[in-house]
Copies of this chain bind each other. A is one copy, B any other.
Amino acid sequence: VADVEKTIVPHAQRGRPRSERVRSAVLAAAAELLVEGGIDAVTVEAIAARAQVSKTTIYKWWPSRGHVMLESFFSSTRDTIAVAEGASLEESLVFQVAALARLFGETRSGPLMGDLVAAAQADAEIRAALQERWLRPRRQVVVGLLRDAVRRGELDPRVDVDAAADQLFAPVYHRLLFGHEPLHGALAETLVRQLLAGLRHLPPDRAARPPRTTRR
């Protein structure tokens, strides 16, 4: 491998190496500015001034303001994907959704994500990065859990797992972005319960359920 690298990259490490100080100072400055003054305060100019880094350097490593915020988000957000071993399907789903709801509802990652979604509406690169690096890994966990449950016979095989994942995660983003309802960890339980069991009222005897027959 070394030989290959040497062949391809003749000058492996030439010139002054990239400064780690710059990277962390920029991300920290961006995060601070966001907290202090909202997204409009996060200008490249302000980041440069606060981080004691020149604008040129920022533009060298990050294509746009949105990319700085993207990286700032990732570096300041603790990972929320951890899966508990030996947990039931319901427990696992609640864990995932609750972690997201708390992250958005209780930490400054919430507003940051709001601004990233905003930036993504005008910048395809940011949209793609958000999809690939943030959404997908989290959805894969949930989709995986659902597929396993289908395989075990626990869930109906005709379930649309992608839509189901949306029905668990989307409400969290929805409340973050619109603020029409409060956002807290307890929401997770409700979402999971209602989706897994459905909204229908099951009478004790579970006798001939009329709702089903009237449908469609």
User: Which of B91, B130, B160 has a CB less than 8 Å from the CB of A190?
Assistant: B160
How many chain A residues touch B (CB < 8 A): the figure is: 68
Provide the residues of chain B in CB contact with A120, threshold 8 Å.
Answer: 177-178
Q: Which residue of B lies closest to A160 (CB)?
A: B190
CB atoms of A200 and B194 under 8 A apart: no
A4 interfacial by beta-carbon distance below 8 Å = no
Docked CA distance A156–B199 (Å): 6
A212 interfacial by beta-carbon distance below 8 Å = yes
A88-B214, A153-B201, A171-B163 given; A121·B195 CB < 8 A: no
User: Which of B114, B171, B180 has a CB less than 8 Å from the CB of A135?
Assistant: B180
How far apart are A63's CB and chain B's nearest CB, in angstroms?
15
User: Which of B118, B155, B158 has a CB less than 8 Å from the CB of A117?
Assistant: B118
- Contact residues, A9-32 vs B (CB, 8 A): none
A155-B199, A169-B174 given; A180·B122 CB < 8 A: no
Docked CA distance A201–B175 (Å): 30
Provide the residues of chain B in CB contact with A131, threshold 8 Å.
Answer: 178-180
How far apart are A134's CB and chain B's nearest CB, in angstroms?
9
CB atoms of A121 and B177 under 8 A apart: yes
A181-B166, A195-B167 given; A209·B210 CB < 8 A: no
A83 interfacial by beta-carbon distance below 8 Å = no
A166-B170, A174-B170 given; A215·B122 CB < 8 A: no
CB atoms of A163 and B191 under 8 A apart: yes
A88-B214, A163-B190 given; A179·B127 CB < 8 A: yes
Q: Which residue of B lies closest to A197 (CB)?
A: B198
User: Which of B121, B139, B178, B211 has a CB less than 8 Å from the CB of A130?
Assistant: B178
CB atoms of A194 and B212 under 8 A apart: no
How far apart are A159's CB and chain B's nearest CB, in angstroms?
5
Closest 10 CB pairs of A and B: A198-B198, A118-B118, A166-B171, A170-B174, A170-B170, A156-B201, A211-B212, A118-B121, A197-B198, A114-B121
